[in-house]
Structure 1
Amino acid sequence: MNLIEAIILAIIEGITEYLPVSSTGHMIIASSFMRIATDDFTKLFTIVIQLGAILSVVVLYWKRFFQSIDFYFKLAIAFIPAVVLGLLLNDVIDNLLESPITVAISLIIGGFILLKVDDWFKANEEFDAENPTAHTEISYLTALKIGFFQCLAMIPGTSRSGASIVGGMTQKINRKTAAEFSFFLAVPTMLGATLKKSYDYYKAGFELSADQVNYLIVGNIVAFIVALIAIKSFIDYLSKKGFKLFGYYRIFFGIVLLFIHFFVYKLTI
């Protein structure tokens, strides 16, 4: 990996982490095209730069992180399924991460779901004068259910944010509330993934060079700045327009990837 490749991957991370289009899938494909996907440092880099994206959520919503202990309990409950299933299915997940076909198919399937999700949960966007918080309150049980939906993102190409947002909407939460809770849930989820990947990297005996340390620093800074812009833009767009554009994009991108893989250039990860 060189500095330009590190910046490109960081930009992709910042743009896609909080959009329902799968940041992991995009970085897998991008690194494959750059022919650095099989490099151990690349795999570490794509996880660690999530810290920059995490920080963007903390900065944008810092008041929410100091509002109550209840907020943290709900995040902890939602985080539990990812911890348990992540540890149990670690080897399976690693194998799936090496399949560009899995990414493409997941993108397409998720795209068709996003085309319909606004219609399925239209009632969630309606204001209830008798119960003004009807579609904005998240209970402990709802948090746990969202956590299970988030686990679907262990399949590359599914999208962590997409799965958790749709999961929230199945619990009668409006789009904006579901999206913001998905952002908050990303903090412990991605922090945990970063710590585990870093530990695995260290345990395997790998040592970072001075250049690699610099790439990680630059990558986190770029991911942070880009994610700040992406989050604000996404919330504004989602509140007004819904998910259809993202659905069309996923389907188009998935089909293009399959075409490239089978007819142009065999993607290897």
Structure 2
Amino acid sequence: MILNIFKTIILGMVEGITEWLPVSSTGHLILVNSIMKLDMSHAFVEMFDVVVQLGAILAVVVIYFKKLWPFRMKGETAVKSQFAHVQTEGAGARFQKFADRYLYMDKVVMWLKILVSVIPAIVIGFPLDDWLDEHLYNAMVVALMLILYGIFFILIENRNRGQKPRVDRLRKITMKDALIIGLFQCLAMIPGTSRSGATIIGGILIGMSRTVAAEYTFYLAIPTMFGASALKLLKFIKNGGGFGGGELLILAIGMAVAFAVSIFTIKFLMDYIRKHDFKVFGWYRIGLGALVLILGFANLI
């Protein structure tokens, strides 16, 4: 058990770092698991690799709570109406009065955009989840996606050098932008792509600044990864998986470590991209992909 706890701490650290940097947490977990896999059932390890993300997600909730919590505290009624066209009667007037008293409408609108971004993953991702796990979860696919998206990052940053972004504030994101980002997120269903990498690339391509693309990616991770973790957990239980004290301890430790490391990783990434571009992550992905290919051909992973 002591050895499993040590391995869990390492895996939690890997998750907390690679979930938010656009370098593919799957690729790194494959490498780490090839060196020091948990001494647990295959079904549990498969579930752990997904559900440990909940710890990372809680870091986003903590860091961005004030920006995302849409409800006013008691006594925080808006000084003036949040609506450009104030209605004086009917259902519209009642809703506006309720919203001014209890809601921050800019945050409500942001959540609506996030939900629009989630729709493609629900429509496309859930039906294909089992097929993708069965056919694409292998070292060759992961390596190719690492390299391919590494090249994309370098090319896109070179193309955008000196250009002024169309969207330099989160509030400027349109519903159309949100839907396009959701479609890019679906690309991350292919292992090795990186969810954050796909959505950041999509955001930059449609005119978002690096900071807006990254921050919106963090927000979008909340419903997406909660949903993915819940789906994986339900499948684990449905297929006869159970939790003893040891399994619960391993999962709790992994999530706690992922949470703590994610706090630092998210803050680091946001500080880094205010002064630098994403090309360093592109080169890193190419190097990591090449390493995965070499180890795969040598039958070491």
Instruction: Tell which structure's C-alpha radius of gyration is larger.
Output: 2
Distance in 2 of aligned mates of 1:29 and 1:38 = 18
Map Cα deviations across residues 22-41 of structure 1 (whole Å, 9 max, x no partner): 11221123213324597111
Consecutive unaligned residues in structure 1, runs of 5 or more:
128-132
Query: Structure 1 counterpart of 2:8, which letter?
Result: A
Among the aligned pairs, what percent are the same residue?
42
Map Cα deviations across residues 232-251 of structure 1 (whole Å, 9 max, x no partner): 10111112111111111111
Alignment of 1:55 with 2:54, yes or no, is no
Map Cα deviations across residues 131-174 of structure 1 (whole Å, 9 max, x no partner): xx843211011000000001111111101001001111112110
Query: Structure 1 counterpart of 2:282, which letter?
Result: G
Q: Give structure 1 regions of 4+ aligned residues with deviation exceeding 3 angstroms.
A: 35-38
Greater CA drift, 223-232 or 85-94:
85-94
Q: How do residues 14-29 of structure 1 correspond to structure 2 at under 5 angstroms? A: 14-29=16-31
Distance in 1 of aligned mates of 2:20 and 2:214 = 8
* Pair 39,212 (structure 1): closer, same or farther in 2 beyond 3 Å: same
Alignment of 1:227 with 2:262, yes or no, is yes
Consecutive unaligned residues in structure 2, runs of 5 or more:
70-103
Question: What is the aligned counterpart of 1:34 among 22, 33, 36?
Answer: 36
* Pair 134,246 (structure 1): closer, same or farther in 2 beyond 3 Å: closer
Query: 1:83, CA displacement in angstroms?
Result: 1.1
Question: What is the aligned counterpart of 2:161 among 100, 119, 122?
Answer: 122
Alignment correspondent of 2:168: 135
TM-score normalised according to structure 1 size: 0.91
User: What secondary structure is seen at the aligned counterpart in 1 of 2:274?
Assistant: helix
Greater CA drift, 252-261 or 7-16:
252-261
TM-score normalised according to structure 2 size: 0.82
Alignment correspondent of 1:212: 247
Question: What is the aligned counterpart of 2:227 among 176, 179, 192?
Answer: 192
Distance in 2 of aligned mates of 1:213 and 1:239 = 39
**8 A contact 1:79–1:147 mirrored in 2:** yes
Alignment of 1:262 with 2:297, yes or no, is yes
Alignment correspondent of 1:3: 5
Q: Over aligned residue pairs, what C-alpha RMSD do you find?
A: 1.8
